[in-house]
Amino acid sequence: MSRKVNFSAGPSTLPKEILEQIRDEIVDFRGEGLSIIEASHRSKVYDDIHSEAISLLREIYKIPEDFEVLLLQGGASLQFAMVPMNLYRGGKVEFVDSGSWSSKAIKEAKIQNINFETIASSKETSYDRIPENIEFSDDLDYAYITSNNTIYGTEYREFPETKSPLVVDASSDILSYQVDWSRVDLLFAGAQKNAGVAGVTVVVARRELIERESSKTPIILRYKTHLDKNSLYNTPPVFAIYTLNLILNWIKSIGGVDEVHRRNQQKAKLLYDTIDSSGGFYVGHADKSSRSLMNVTFNIKNGDGSNNSELEAKFIKEATKLGMVGLKGHRSIGGLRASLYNAMDIDGVKQLTQFMDNFKSKNL
């Protein structure tokens, strides 16, 4: 079977060796005579996977001892609601609006009628950059950012410093670089871009924040409920956590998060250099100061600087014929997008950039 080069923004590509291991173990897990998706979440068979996944997250992500790791369900979208349910204490919250996902978190804050303010936004420039000079107040219940923006292709170079607890939605760049945990108090991420398949959400939070239990929050939506039960309060997403564990072992085997980051920088540089050297045929959406290593967004331009939607459609069609999929930009901004998550290898990016050079020469 010839595998496609998958540039989809999520769910995203997985390492071939991981897919092959899943294939080999899905019927008979390590000689146990049953599939991992049949095993009881109370069994030793599953408990070993569960415990190892949490341990590996701590090890390769260098998570400090005063942080706890939770494996939850509901995707990152549920965290938009769970964060205020658990952390808001009647004070004030401040957001940075850098795109669609932070906007959705703000909507959840409105629904819960919390006192909040959006202190910075790049909406006026079509979210083409991370807002500059972010200054959070010192006495907030929490401050909130989205570290990477899949739709617009922007990413924080470093997290803002704040005396207030900082919440980070890292759904699309988790495990792609080492986090400065001194600047973070709660980080969450859906797994389906860099950490496996849809179904499990990783939450890493300071223990003192998890202790902020509220009697008004439904029991299953309290972080402390899941901490007290080691993320086994209810049946966990067994297959997703199994895959997360495989991915964590894979990251460790190739040299850890630092090596992943090095590879991600190499891939992104190759693609951005191709865009920048095209003489204006390809133009990136994101300002150079905020370019994402995960999601590269760009357009094909006419001579007058307008977007050439006809050529973009042709680009997608021809790339698909050559086995490259997932290159269509998000419907909200159109254009083209190549997602370079951890499992995308450099050969896939080289194939794309060679195609881009050829496409430009044929369509100038």
Active site residues: 101, 169, 193
Q: What is the DSSP letter of 315?
A: H
Judge contact between 144 and 167, C-beta under 8 A: yes
CB 292 within 8 A of CB 155: yes
Using the Cα atoms of residue 193, residue 194, residue 200 and residue 201 in order, give the sign of their dihedral: negative
Q: Which amino acid is at 146?
A: T
Q: Which of 309, 300, 296 is nearest to 279 (CA)?
A: 300
256 and 335 in contact (C-beta within 8 Å)?
Answer: no
Q: Which residue has 């095993």 as its token pair?
A: 39
Max CA separation in the chain (angstroms): 65
Tokens of 87: 């952390």
Question: Do residues 295 and 153 touch, judged by C-beta distance below 8 A?
Answer: yes
CA distance 312 to 318: 10
Residues 287/76/35/47 CA torsion (nearest 10 deg): 110
Measured between alpha carbons, how far is 70 from 231 in angstroms, rounded to an integer?
6
* Residues linked to residue 205 through DSSP beta bridges, in sequence order: 68, 186
CB-based burial label for 264 (10 Å; 0-12, 13-18, 19+) = buried
- Burial class of residue 182 in the structure, from the number of CB atoms within 10 Å of its CB (0-12 exposed, 13-18 middle, 19+ buried): exposed
Q: Which stretches within the chain are classed as H helix?
A: 16-25, 44-60, 75-87, 100-111, 207-210, 223-228, 238-253, 256-276, 309-321, 346-363
Structure tokens at 266: 């190499």
| Nearest-10 crossing angle of helices 44-60, 238-253 | 40
